[in-house]
Amino acid sequence: MHSRRTAHRPLSQINVVPYIDVMLVLLVIFMVTAPMMNPGQIDLPSVGKSATPAAAPLEVMIKKDATLVLRDHARGGAERPVSQDELTAMLKQKLLKNPEQAVVISADKKIRYEEVIKVMDMLQQQSVKKVGLLTRTR
């Protein structure tokens, strides 16, 4: 009687050998056809150069004694000591000519962080949009 029960029991195992065969055939097909496929060539649109070149940045230097020096790279890069009021007036003139005028701050590494923040705050009040910090690469 015991043998009769095992004969009528359904098989509960899946035969995965046919699936493995199908996967190997698909793998071979993809390996053969992949080198033959042409990657899509993209024809990029061209753009004319800007009519107005980017203005040379103004450099505000903060010395060790917290004095301000302005270097205008558009005028040869000559350094000129300025007060905060003179710097504000010069920035207003520059921003009238070019609202996208970039300003770079270069501070001595021993200067207090607060001095740099004061200059950045003053630039923000003058609505300078592009402000950067100048660093030296090692």
> What's the pLDDT at 23?
95
Average pLDDT over residues 106-117: 87
Judge whether 103 and 123 are in contact, CB under 8 Å.
yes
Conformation bin of residue 77: beta by default, left when phi > 0, alpha when psi is -120 to 50: left
Average pLDDT over residues 105-111: 86
The answer to the question of residue 64 being in a domain is: yes
The answer to the question of residue 8 being in a domain is: no
The answer to the question of residue 50 being in a domain is: no
Q: Above 80 in pLDDT, residue 29?
A: yes
Q: Above 70 in pLDDT, residue 35?
A: yes
The answer to the question of residue 79 being in a domain is: yes
CATH classification of the domain holding 88 = 3.30.420.270
CB neighbour list of residue 63: distance below 8 Å, 6 or more residues apart: 69, 108, 111
Count of domains in the chain?
1
The domain containing residue 109 runs over which residues?
58-133
Average pLDDT over residues 58-69: 88
Is this model's pTM higher than 0.75 or not? no
Higher-pLDDT residue of 13, 76: 13
The answer to the question of residue 71 being in a domain is: yes
The answer to the question of residue 96 being in a domain is: yes
